[in-house]
Amino acid sequence: MIIKKLSVIALTSLSLISLSACRQHSQTLGQNGSAQNHKKASVSEDKAKELAFKDASITAADAQRLKLTKETDDGRVVYDIEFDAKDQEYSYTIDANTGEILEKSSEPITETHAAGGQADKAAGISEDKAKELAFKDASITAADAQRLKLTKETDDGRVVYDIEFDAKDQEYSYTIDANSGEILEKSSEPVYD
């Protein structure tokens, strides 16, 4: 009789421990499932720009000197977005998984930038034309170019386009005069150097 009672107590205890372990396992799975769903909610670069432009009450066409980088900040993947529009410099940090605007700031464009802005308006060729000139010189098509980076800036009082891209296992770098379209500097080297 005592053996029977001890067996019942032991089986009951084992059952409780098993149920507790099953419950803990299902909670862990639920947490992992949530984390996986969170990763599926990833925000594209275009969507991040759209969120910043909407918050700044501008259109993509209004944005000048756009710079977007994707990086990890405190273990969180974020987009850092900077652009000029409507005489303001904007800066945004957007969570790449949720689309939440984590940080934002804007300030009036300084006189230095304003002078550059005036020179920009006088520029003779568009960004698209500058890219076309670089691609033609490199003997590639726009579809061949990877990791394209284009910036427009003033260099020694001259407005220029700095263009960098990879194509056909080469890294290319061009500086093109924004008024005349003249290639001022160019270089290329193997990507895997």
Segment 36-73, tens digit of pLDDT: 333 433 999 999 999 999 999 999 888 888 898 888 88
For range 81-94, the mean pLDDT: 89
Q: What percent of the chain has pLDDT over 70?
A: 71
The CB-based long-range contact list for 23-30 (8 Å cut-off, 24+ gap) reads: none
Q: Largest Cα–Cα distance in the chain?
A: 104
At residue 33, the pLDDT reads: 42
The H-or-E segment that residue 3 falls in is helix 2-40
What SS3 class is residue 148?
strand
**What number is the average pLDDT over the span 111-128?**
58
Distance from C-alpha of 106 to C-alpha of 83, rounded to nearest angstrom = 10
Q: What is the pLDDT of residues 137-165, one digit of tens each?
A: 999 998 888 889 998 888 777 889 999 99
Supply the mean pLDDT for the chain.
Answer: 78
**Mean of pLDDT values over 95-111:** 85
